Chain A
Amino acid sequence: MRSARAVAAFDLLTPATAEEALSALRSAAPGALAVLAGGTDLLFDLDDGRLASRTVLSLRRLPWRTLAWDGAALTIGSTLPLRTLENDPGVRTRLPGLYAAVRAVGSVALRHRATLGGNLGRSAPASDLIPILLALDAEVELVGPEGARTVLVDRFVQGSRKTALRPDELIRAVRIPEARPSAYLLQRVRPFHDISHMAVAVAYSPRRESWRVALAGFPPRPILVPEAGELLRGPRPSSAEVVRAAETAAQLAPIVADKRASEEYRRALVKPLLERAVRACASSGGAT
């Protein structure tokens, strides 16, 4: 049941600086190196016989376990454990959608190792973090041989396990430009410790007076539905607007079936989840 190509052993590199890490990346043959942040996905693959890389590059010694508020903006280091992010009082009060999304990931013990960078780099269709980052207009800070560049999460995530990360780049941080009233609602078989088969993230930007609506849970990737966001007006949209936004999102989103849920069921979930998310978001107020 295990592929003969699967490796039981590998070399572990633990560079102390970004320069060393990037240099290791550069000298690796394509596909020969896997990047290790928290390791919760990588070790799952290792046991499953899916890890084919002979070298693993650990980011643990890099100084990226950071969390910094700058006014309303939040920068999260890519290797910061999710549980640390969750324990930040500002996240809980000023970014309720992000707080809910982080708590939706795995279990507490998993979140003590899992990272935002790992989740983004992995880019799983059912990621609970990507949809809220989309709704918050978050950006990814990447470092590579030519220096740093910043990419919107929406551009960064390209498909199931497909991202804009180049083979010689690393994710250094995620930047959320402003704390916003936000909400993340999901549908699962079990409320905790499960994979979302449909999820809705919403956020309202008081500065731009606009809404973002993101859907997730189906392949290939979480998506923004700008048309739905545009139908919502002001911090407390009317019920009619919410209904129209929900219908639009359900209609436009490229929702498909997989083993976890049918397309029909997923489409039917958009409306209730979106309505509840907007309501939760509107009542969370302008806690910025």
Chain B
Amino acid sequence: MTASMRPDARAKVLGQLAFGADLEAPGMLWGALVTAPAAHGHLRSVDLAPARALPGVVAVAAADLGPLLSGRSGDPERPAFPRETVTYRNQPVAAVAAPTLPLAREAAAAVRVVVEPIPAVSDVEAVFPDWPGSDLGASPHVAAHVLARRGEVDRAFREAGTVVRETYRTSSVHPVALEPHVCVAEVHDDRWTVRTSTQSPFGVREDVSSILGVPEESVVVDGAWVGGGFGGKGASFVEPYALLLSRAAGRPVRLALSYREEFLLGRTTLPAVVRMETAVTSGRIVARRVRLLLDVGTSLPGRDFATGYAIGFLLGPYRCPTFEIEGYGVRTNKPPFGPHRAPFAPQCAFVVESHLEHVAREVGVDPLAFKADHLWHDGDTTALGQRVAHFGLPTALEAARGVAEEWRRTAPAGHGVGVGLGFWSTNTPAGGEARVRLTPKELVVVQGEREIGTGSVLVGLAAVAERRTGLPRDRIRIEYADTAHAPYDAGVFGSRTVGALGSAVDQALRNLLATLAERWGGRSPVTLGWENGAIVARAGTARRPVSEFFNAAESEAGALVAEGKHYGQPGTIDESLVVAGTFYPYTDFTGAAHVAEVTVDRETGSVRVVRYAAFHDVGWVVDPLSARAQVEGGVAMGLGTALTEEALWSDDGRLLNPGLVDYRIPTLDEVPPVDVTFVEGFLGAGPFGAKGLGEPPIIPVPAAIASAVRAASGAHVTELPLAPERVARALKSR
């Protein structure tokens, strides 16, 4: 059998790996949450007595926090349990633990929660029926308002040859990691320990400290193997409740969300409405106006990250001299907005790409030529004044156009071929640190992240170490440590792991090699190799076992240790353009062009994706197998956003499809073969020029599918997802 490039593959196929959901502890109790019975209301009482009357049951609610936390209190804006008002249905208001899970569930059901309802809001267009005509500034429903402008926008629209105006709607999508949120907490004295399935152990430590008011040094977060993250496990969720229960019980407590709760309580991408206006003269865009109404759920004013972050994606990777962009983050009675693989970027790409394709058709030019004419090139600045450099998307687009033309020529009648673009900003400013330990037999990278499945930790960091040192991969081991022992790292998110943590590893390795060089009389460059059963330092043709360079203390410890850190530079934006709010500064641009071929059943509206090709600007391909797998997986997830996935909310904030029957992620049957091509050489901020690849593959998918559906059938669908009924309706209204 061929050795796999994934060191974790064997244990995973044999079922030997303990995920967060598999953890237990001696004497452990099972936890369950008690949740609000209404989407909005005054919390009149939480009566725990019926639960506590059951044998062995421990229960906690807001009133118990003082004694449990020794009088400390956390951030008043994010209490563990609400005291006065519930703001979304199924908001946790208490937690219970019992010797068995069925008993814990029974105890949770026995807690009497009285909520005096207040009218709830859910649909952002119902909250602001006059939008976009009116100023929403003072409304209590506004969590964020961002506005930027350049040039004389009104005049540009008045004087333009053609103006195209459209409204788009996008759906709420859920990460659907197969493993639910789960942890095992254990509190002893004042040491708050939690083992948890998370994308960010240090992020959980920070959250727990902030929510409970316990100092960070008293909190230890031990990451477990993660059964899928996709953004949903980037922040704390079950951990504070489990810790409180363990504190109250004096025993370890396991708390997992049921899958139903995953949907009902889950923080995810919520619906949005976008108004797009574009002014064109002689085939050139002269002005754009973009207005966004984004549902941010119960996100607090000033705490909404989504609006200022997402809105920049609505301008797309295109030059635009004159523009106005305005977004409102609208508070509704839903769980807070949370990340879902490239939060809201696929939806934005769908809107921009579909709209600009429509504009091109309206003015009678080829959509791809129109896009290519306006695409960012190196040296351009974005609308908000950020410099574009090392940007491989124009090259990717050229390659994609070639494939699209070939597929159009060869596709059977009735098939349609479409292209979608997307850009991404690798989140390298989120920093990280690493430690490397060189022994005579192996190179160990010590760091604080668990592998979440992408390979970015186990494969990515090893590939960086291999390239930096020259040591073969099987002599490199990635070691994980909890927050009490590992160097700090921000988390496995934002496509940053290889870029930022990998840069910290690279820095540690450079320091290591520099130490060897210095001790070898200043020879340079020094690399490592595996020869005759030992790791050797190499300089030119010279070879020496690395152990010869160890000082006395290192010889005794058996290792030479070096450390590195990487805190990237955030991007900057031209503040003179900003009228209101905070725009997220993107940095380290990357992009992708996708080509889709589909068939559309003109009678039923069903869309079938026949083949798919993805072209990605990656700087340096860190590991070919993992990179390909990342794109294949991202495309499939994007097909869900494009075609099948939609969380349905009632007008009073009730989630109507909290399960995998009616919330439909793609099955094996719907995903076509994906050809993956990497555009290398446009070097990014990561080690050896690597750019992030976690999020980019999902971004262009809905755009490419919508474009192909239009090509196949003429249906111009302006809402996600392109489920059969929506496509059928668009076909009918043609």
Q: CA of A6 to CA of B102 in the docked complex: distance in angstroms? A: 11
In the complex, whether A271 has a CB less than 8 A from a CB of chain B is: yes
CB proximity of B259 to chain A, nearest CB, Å: 9
Which of A175-233 touch B at CB < 8 Å? 187, 189-195
> Which of the residues A48, A190, A195, A261 comes within 8 Å of B644, measured between beta carbons?
A190
Check B667–A272 contact: CB distance below 8 A: no
Assuming the A-B contacts A1-B264, A189-B723, A262-B725, are A194 and B664 also in contact, with contact meaning beta carbons closer than 8 angstroms in the complex? yes
Q: CA of A268 to CA of B605 in the docked complex: distance in angstroms? A: 11
Q: Find the B residue at minimum CB distance from A6.
A: B109
CB proximity of B409 to chain A, nearest CB, Å: 28
CB proximity of A258 to chain B, nearest CB, Å: 10
In the complex, whether B139 has a CB less than 8 A from a CB of chain A is: no
In the complex, whether B35 has a CB less than 8 A from a CB of chain A is: yes
Q: Find the B residue at minimum CB distance from A264.
A: B729
CB proximity of A193 to chain B, nearest CB, Å: 5
In the complex, whether B204 has a CB less than 8 A from a CB of chain A is: no
Contact with A along B32-50 (1 / 0, CB 8 A): 0001010000000000000
Residues of B within 8 A of A187 (CB): 604, 606, 724
Assuming the A-B contacts A4-B110, A259-B648, are A195 and B669 also in contact, with contact meaning beta carbons closer than 8 angstroms in the complex? no
Check B106–A8 contact: CB distance below 8 A: yes
Q: CA of A260 to CA of B90 in the docked complex: distance in angstroms? A: 23
Q: CA of A213 to CA of B729 in the docked complex: distance in angstroms? A: 26
Among B68-76, B300-308, B436-444, B655-663, the stretch that binds chain A is B655-663
Q: Which one of B106, B258, B261, B604 has the highest number of Cβ atoms from chain A below 10 Å of its Cβ?
A: B604
CB proximity of A125 to chain B, nearest CB, Å: 14
> Which of the residues B105, B662, B724, B729 comes within 8 Å of A2, measured between beta carbons?
B105
Contact with A along B587-618 (1 / 0, CB 8 A): 00000000000000101101000000000000
Q: Find the B residue at minimum CB distance from A107.
A: B667
Residues of A within 8 A of B667 (CB): 190, 192-193
In the complex, whether B108 has a CB less than 8 A from a CB of chain A is: yes
Q: CA of A49 to CA of B105 in the docked complex: distance in angstroms? A: 10
Q: CA of A77 to CA of B602 in the docked complex: distance in angstroms? A: 41
Check B670–A191 contact: CB distance below 8 A: yes
Assuming the A-B contacts A1-B264, A259-B648, A260-B662, are A190 and B657 also in contact, with contact meaning beta carbons closer than 8 angstroms in the complex? no
Q: Which one of A3, A190, A269 has the highest number of Cβ atoms from chain B below 10 Å of its Cβ?
A: A190
In the complex, whether B728 has a CB less than 8 A from a CB of chain A is: yes
Q: CA of A262 to CA of B606 in the docked complex: distance in angstroms? A: 15
Q: Find the A residue at minimum CB distance from B108.
A: A2
Residues of A within 8 A of B110 (CB): 4
Q: CA of A273 to CA of B35 in the docked complex: distance in angstroms? A: 44
CB proximity of B262 to chain A, nearest CB, Å: 13
Assuming the A-B contacts A259-B657, A265-B725, A269-B604, are A192 and B109 also in contact, with contact meaning beta carbons closer than 8 angstroms in the complex? no
Check B661–A259 contact: CB distance below 8 A: no
Which of B612-627 touch A at CB < 8 Å? none
Residues of B within 8 A of A2 (CB): 105, 108-109
Q: CA of A195 to CA of B661 in the docked complex: distance in angstroms? A: 7
CB proximity of A141 to chain B, nearest CB, Å: 30
In the complex, whether A47 has a CB less than 8 A from a CB of chain B is: yes
CB proximity of B655 to chain A, nearest CB, Å: 11
Check B725–A8 contact: CB distance below 8 A: no
- Give the size of the chain B interface in residues (CB under 8 angstroms): 36
In the complex, whether A9 has a CB less than 8 A from a CB of chain B is: yes
Sort chain A's interface into a size bin: 20 to 34
Contact with B along A24-64 (1 / 0, CB 8 A): 00000000000000000000000111000000000000000
Residues of B within 8 A of A8 (CB): 102-103, 105-106
Residues of A within 8 A of B519 (CB): none
Residues of A within 8 A of B669 (CB): 190-193
In the complex, whether B568 has a CB less than 8 A from a CB of chain A is: no
Assuming the A-B contacts A189-B644, A189-B724, A272-B603, are A3 and B666 also in contact, with contact meaning beta carbons closer than 8 angstroms in the complex? no
In the complex, whether B260 has a CB less than 8 A from a CB of chain A is: yes
Check B728–A268 contact: CB distance below 8 A: yes
Contact with A along B248-261 (1 / 0, CB 8 A): 00000000001011
Residues of A within 8 A of B106 (CB): 8
Q: Find the B residue at minimum CB distance from A2.
A: B109
Assuming the A-B contacts A190-B669, A271-B603, are A3 and B728 also in contact, with contact meaning beta carbons closer than 8 angstroms in the complex? no
Residues of B within 8 A of A261 (CB): 725
Check B664–A189 contact: CB distance below 8 A: yes
> Which of the residues A48, A49, A272 comes within 8 Å of B604, measured between beta carbons?
A272
Q: CA of A2 to CA of B603 in the docked complex: distance in angstroms? A: 41
CB proximity of A214 to chain B, nearest CB, Å: 18
Check B258–A265 contact: CB distance below 8 A: no
Which of A219-278 touch B at CB < 8 Å? 259-262, 265, 268-269, 271-273
Q: Find the A residue at minimum CB distance from B601.
A: A272
Q: Find the B residue at minimum CB distance from A8.
A: B102
Assuming the A-B contacts A8-B102, A192-B669, A260-B662, are A265 and B109 also in contact, with contact meaning beta carbons closer than 8 angstroms in the complex? no
Q: Find the A residue at minimum CB distance from B101.
A: A8
CB proximity of A242 to chain B, nearest CB, Å: 14
Q: CA of A111 to CA of B669 in the docked complex: distance in angstroms? A: 18
Residues of B within 8 A of A268 (CB): 603, 728, 732
Other than the given A2-B108, A190-B644, 11 more pairs (CB < 8 A) read A2-B105, A4-B110, A8-B102, A47-B258, A49-B109, A189-B664, A190-B669, A259-B656, A262-B725, A265-B729, A269-B603
* A-B contacts, 7 listed (Cβ < 8 Å): A47-B260, A187-B604, A187-B724, A190-B664, A259-B657, A265-B725, A268-B603
The residues of B with any CB-CB pair to A shorter than 8 Å are: 35, 37, 90, 102-103, 105-106, 108-110, 258, 260-261, 264, 601, 603-604, 606, 643-644, 648, 656-657, 661-662, 664, 666-667, 669-670, 723-725, 728-729, 732
Lowest 10 CB-CB distances: which A-B pairs, in order? A272-B603, A8-B102, A2-B109, A265-B725, A192-B669, A4-B109, A189-B644, A193-B667, A190-B664, A189-B723
The residues of A with any CB-CB pair to B shorter than 8 Å are: 1-4, 6, 8-9, 47-49, 187, 189-195, 259-262, 265, 268-269, 271-273
